[in-house]
Structure 1
Amino acid sequence: MAPPNVEDSAFFVEAKAQGRTVVKDPPKFDFESYIANYQGRTRLERLYLIGTTSTYLSVDALHAAIAEAKQGKDVNFYSLLTDRLHQIVQDDPLGIPDVQWCERKTKEVKAELESLEQQLKQYKNNLIKESIRMGHDDLGQFYTDIGDHASAMKSYARERDYCNTTQNVADMSLKLIYSGILQRSWATVNSNVSKIQPMSLKPEEKARLDPICNAVLGLSQLASGNYREAARQFLLVNPSFMTNDKQANITWQKQVLTGNDIAVYGGLCALASMDRSELQRLVLDNNDFRQFLELEPHIRRAISLFCGSKYTQCLEILEAYRTDYLLDIYLNPHIKELYGRVRSKSIVQYFIPFSCVTLQQMAKAFAPVGDVSIEDELTEMIHRGVLDARIDLVDKLLVSPPTNPRTQVHANAIKMAQDYEHTLRLRLVRLNMMNEGLVIKAPKGHQQNQSQTLESGFDPVQAAQVVGGKSWGG
């Protein structure tokens, strides 16, 4: 349990004042089990987010992150972690940077960089393409380890001229994708996925790469706020993703996102962007995605409840896991929008069968979130055009606008009659034009149907004015 003074620390007080997310409630996941699913840079980033967002897990997460950072080479990130811990718990000994380690590691990093650059220079002098490619690859991995993702991308991109096989190009593109994810450069991710997909690879190689491409495209679309496309990509991920071997020396299901993440991201994006029939057909009846949903049964249950018109229970499940999702590095910026869309859809679907509902009943079915009352929420939805209804402030009712089916039938009948009359008038004009010999015949060798000649680029209404004095009926 977090020390009692964590929430009142200078760091979290400032975070609240600046409007940043601060989570007070404990999450449902077990911290040790959760973080054990990840490796590499994403493990560090997730620990940092938890440490700077959750007052309940802050100290534990930062302790774990500092221990993890000292096993690596990124001195700057280690210094950031110790600084954050010191701001949160000033008397914590781990909040004081290990100066000796920093100095020693900085020297080691500098020496390693000089060695790698010297090796690459020798490879270039020897003009051995494969050695040059490997030299750039080693440099890219080094920059990734020290957290310089921009330089890592440049090094990997320089491999292009020295790739001898399609597999070399695919590996280079995968590493660029990985660096792009770490740098949050989603354009880089998308462009390199588009280069991998059309490659002429062996069937078994393609079967290993396709799930990765779908997963990272889904992640890219989620980060960009394109939730429907994100859902589509996550739903395409083959379950083999969870058991694949390393590709381009990267364990994607641990160093980027896990099978649990795919279930949660795909399920939430689908809930936010698809209607009930699509959710049933594309999500619940999807045999491949069902294997991911088995890892997160509450997501499957929430989708099933939504499809069964049990919106209150669906939203209750999502609310129960809000804390967990606020501690996720990719969901954190989007959880408010995703939950808002699911809630708005639920309210709209709930109201469809009714002509009017009391605001009290709406508040009971959809418990207000935060300080926003159900009346204010419904008003905002009506203003945005999401909900076709009116609010009766006197009787406290949500009222469906009156509709008269007979009026609609009459309107459709009048429209059909007008269209029919217009068509008949055009035909009569054409007959009159033909009777008066005002049809231009096609030259020899270019036989065309007369009606096509007349109607192409021809306005019968203007022509009718030319034939003034002639009756419409001829």
Structure 2
Amino acid sequence: MEDQQQQQQPHLHLANQLFLLQHSDIADIEKVTLRDDVTSYVISNDMALLYESLCSSAVLEFDEKVLDAMRVRIDEEVKKLDEKIADAEENLGESEVREAHLAKSLFYIRIGDKDKALEQLKVTEGKTVAVGQRMDLVFYTLQMGFFYMDFDLISKSIDKAKKLFEEGGDWERKNRLKVYEALYCMSTRNFKKAADLFLDSTSTFTTYDLFPYDTFIFYTVLTSIISLDRVSLKQKVVDAPEILTVIGKIPYLSEFMNSLYDCQYKSFFSAFAGIAEHIKLDRYLNSHFRYFMREIRTVVYSQFLESYKSVTVEAMANAFGVTVDFIDLELSRFIAAGKLHCKIDKVAGVLETNRPDAKNALYQATIKQGDFLLNRIQKLSRVIDL
């Protein structure tokens, strides 16, 4: 991932560093290096507000002289930018005025002043006619949204971008937006939609401002495994040439995916541990760690049980390379939560599957919805009679 790091939006790289710096699983020696890198970047870009915030939370050490120097440089730069805007408005054309306002917007983004950046981007948008340029302003807003993990801002910006594309827009920007939306969906636990959008972008990926291609493939494979059925997984992921060219570079991912598809469950659990560590250290997936681990286990246990009408607990434990007690406890939890359709005969030590009848389930759902509708109509009729 190193060779493409320089193409990632610098603030998003900083956000990853800040996440790792505050993560308990990162060694103290690594944190020293991270802290030095973060301090250097924050100061060199005059990110005064972020510096104050990090110092107040004891992430960085406070130095009043450093903060004062940043504030002085910010005031000087804002003065210069305002002078350029005034000059453009008096002596130059509309495009130069727009460029002067855009420069001020980018400055506020650079120093991490979110409120002023959003305000200035609105001013710049008011002076922008071309759909492509207005779309670029939305991408700047989206990048800020991901930096601050402001999902309300991200959602509104994605909706705004889609409305802009109804007016026009090129394919390159549309494909970029797919990846932005996929990352938003993944970050808000909509893994099915995220997988669909990621897969649609595998052959057109150019969104290096968000993350390198290796990371993109990592997200694509993970979201696909818990979202796609076995046949679709084979067609869209396991045999996909774009994924095959990169997957070997990502630790544990190839073994994780292929061992699941090939039903090599011992190898799967071995790779599973390595993937789990990777997910823990991912800024976008970390908050969904427990949910994701549970969903993955549901997929693999369901896949194993689909092959049997009944199987001994010991045979399943041997297949996964774990103890009988572990499998017994695991399956009990998933069965109680309605995730697995089977029952455990504790005396005989046997698992009996009871696959749900899809037609019967649909019938029951229809009856339930019909009853609910009738109850609503009866309540409404009483109100009307009164």
TM-score strictly above 0.5: yes
The 1:150–1:360 alpha-carbon spacing in structure 2 relative to 1, beyond 3 Å, is farther
**1:35-434 to 2 correspondence within 5 Å?**
38-53=8-23, 54-56=25-27, 57-81=30-54, 96-121=61-86, 123-124=88-89, 128-183=93-148, 184=150, 185-195=153-163, 197-198=165-166, 200-201=168-169, 206-239=170-203, 241-242=205-206, 252-253=207-208, 255-293=209-247, 295-296=249-250, 298-366=252-320, 373-401=326-354
The 1:96–1:171 alpha-carbon spacing in structure 2 relative to 1, beyond 3 Å, is closer
Distance 1:268 1:238 in 2: 14
Q: Match for 2:233: what amino acid?
A: L
Q: Match for 2:44: what amino acid?
A: Q
Per the normalisation by structure 1, the TM-score is: 0.65
SS of the residue 2:226 aligns to: helix
Q: Match for 2:156: what amino acid?
A: T
Gaps of 5+ in 1: 1-28, 88-94, 243-251, 406-410, 412-474
> CA-atom RMSD, angstroms?
3.3
The 1:312–1:34 alpha-carbon spacing in structure 2 relative to 1, beyond 3 Å, is farther
Q: Match for 1:280: what amino acid?
A: K
Shift of 1:38: 4.4
The 1:37–1:329 alpha-carbon spacing in structure 2 relative to 1, beyond 3 Å, is farther
Q: Percent identity among equivalent residues? A: 18
Larger radius of gyration: 1
The 1:69–1:402 alpha-carbon spacing in structure 2 relative to 1, beyond 3 Å, is closer
Question: Which has the larger helix fraction?
Answer: 2
Gaps of 5+ in 2: 361-386
Distance 1:161 1:107 in 2: 29
Kept after mapping to 2: 8 A contact 1:272/1:339: no
Kept after mapping to 2: 8 A contact 1:66/1:82: no
Shift of 1:125: 5.9
The 1:79–1:229 alpha-carbon spacing in structure 2 relative to 1, beyond 3 Å, is same
Shift of 1:71: 1.9
Q: Match for 1:65: what amino acid?
A: V
The 1:300–1:102 alpha-carbon spacing in structure 2 relative to 1, beyond 3 Å, is same
What is the count of residue pairs matched by the alignment?
A: 351
Q: Match for 1:116: what amino acid?
A: L
